[in-house]
Amino acid sequence: MDEEIGGAARQAQWKNYCKTLSLLAFQSFGVVYGDLSTSPLYVYRNSLSGRLNAYIDETTIFGLFSLIFWTFTLVPLLKYVTIVLSADDNGEGGPFALYSLLCRHAKFSLLPNQQAADEELSTYYQPGTDRTAVSSPFKRFLEKHRKLRTCLLLFVLFGACMVIGDGVLTPTISVLSAISGLQDPATSGLSNGWIVFIACVVLVGLFALQHRGTHRVAFMFAPIVVFWLLSIGIIGLYNIIRWNPRIFVALSPHYIVKFFKKTGRDGWISLGGVLLAVTGTEAMFADLGHFTAASIRLAFVGVIYPCLVLQYMGQAAFLSKNTPAVYNSFYLSIPSPLFWPVFVIATLAAVVGSQAIISATFSIVKQCLALGCFPRVKVVHTSRWIHGQIYIPEINWILMVLCLAVALGFRDITVIGNAYGLACITVMFVTTCLMSLVIIFVWQKNLLISLLFLVFFGAIEAAYLSAAVMKVPQGGWAPIALAFVFMSIMYVWHYGMRRKYMFDLQNKVSMKWILNLGPSLGIMRVPGIGLIYTELVTGVPAIFSHFVTNLPAFHQVLVFVCVKSVPVPYVPVDERYLIGRIGPREYRMYRCIVRYGYKDVQKDDENFENHLVRSIARFIQMEAEESASSGSYESSTEGRMAVVHTTDTTGTGLVVRDSTDDDAAAGTSLTRSSKSETLRSLQEIYELENAGSVNRRRRVRFQIDEEERIDPRVRDELSDLLEAKEAGVAYIIGHSYVKARKNSNFLKTFAINYAYSFLRKNCRGPSVTLHIPHISLIEVGMIYYV
Euclidean distance between CA atoms 599 and 367, whole angstroms: 7
Of residues 285, 547, 268, 577, the one with CA closest to residue 428: 285
Q: For the chain, what is the total number of helices (H) and then of strands (E)? A: 32, 11
Kindly tell me the burial class for residue 707, based on how many C-beta atoms sit within 10 Å of its own C-beta (0-12, 13-18, 19 or more).
Answer: exposed
Order of all β-strands in the sheet with 589-596: 641-644, 577-581, 589-596, 553-565, 524-533, 729-739, 777-785
| Residue 359 phi, psi (nearest 5) | -60, -40
Beta bridge pairs of residue 781: 735
Residue 745 phi, psi dihedral angles, 5° rounding: -75, 175
Highest mean pLDDT among 147-161, 234-248, 257-271, 749-763: 234-248
Confidence (pLDDT) at 662: 45
Cβ count within 10 A of residue 572: 14
What is the Cα–Cα distance from 242 to 224, expressed in whole angstroms? 26
What tens digit of pLDDT does each residue of 434-485 get? Answer: 999 999 888 888 889 999 999 999 999 999 999 888 888 888 899 999 999 9
Q: Residue 186's pLDDT is what?
A: 58
Query: Which range has the worst mean pLDDT, 68-72, 285-289, 473-477, 571-575?
Result: 285-289
**Regarding beta strands 390-391 and 524-533, do their DSSP bridges make them parallel or antiparallel, or are they unpaired?**
unpaired
Rounded Cα distance between 113 and 111, Å, is 6
Distance CA 265, CA 261 (A): 9
Q: Could you tell me whether strands 777-785 and 729-739 are parallel, antiparallel, or unpaired per DSSP bridges?
A: parallel
Confidence of residue 675 (pLDDT cuts 50, 70, 90): very low
What is the phi/psi pair of residue 523, to 5°? -140, 175
Q: How far apart are CA 85 and CA 94, in angstroms?
A: 10
CA–CA dist 636, 318 (Å, integer):
81
Please state the rounded mean pLDDT for residues 399-418. 89
Q: What is the per-residue pLDDT across 593-617, written as a single tens digit (0 to 9) for each?
A: 988 888 777 765 557 888 888 888 8
CA distance 167 to 403: 9
pLDDT band for position 654 (50/70/90)? low
Cα–Cα separations (whole angstroms), residue 564 to 37, 114, 544, 552, 750: 39, 9, 19, 30, 28
Instruction: Report the range out of 312-321, 739-748, 758-767 with the highest average pLDDT.
Output: 312-321
Whole-angstrom Cα distance, residue 266 to residue 467? 10
User: What is the residue-averaged pLDDT of the chain?
Assistant: 81
- Amino acid letter at 407? A
CA distance 689 to 54: 69
What are 589's strand-pairing partners? 558
**Cα–Cα dist 569/89, whole Å:** 7
Q: What is the mean pLDDT of residues 46-60?
A: 83
Give the DSSP letter string of 527-540.
Answer: EEEEEEE-S-SSSB
Q: Report the run of H or E that residue 492 belongs to, with start and end.
A: helix 477-506
Cβ pair 355, 218 in contact under 8 A: yes
The pLDDT-based confidence of 635 (bands split at 50, 70, 90) is: very low
Which domains does the chain carry? 45-111+137-494 (1.20.1740.10), 508-626+638-658+701-785 (no CATH)
pLDDT above 90 covers a percentage of the chain that reads: 20
Burial class (CB in 10 A: 0-12, 13-18, 19+), 706: exposed
Question: Which CB contacts under 8 angstroms, 24+ apart, belong to 630-634?
Answer: 633/711, 633/713
Q: In the prediction, which pLDDT does 4 show?
A: 62
Phi/psi-derived region of residue 135, left when phi > 0, alpha when psi is between -120 and 50, beta in every other case? beta
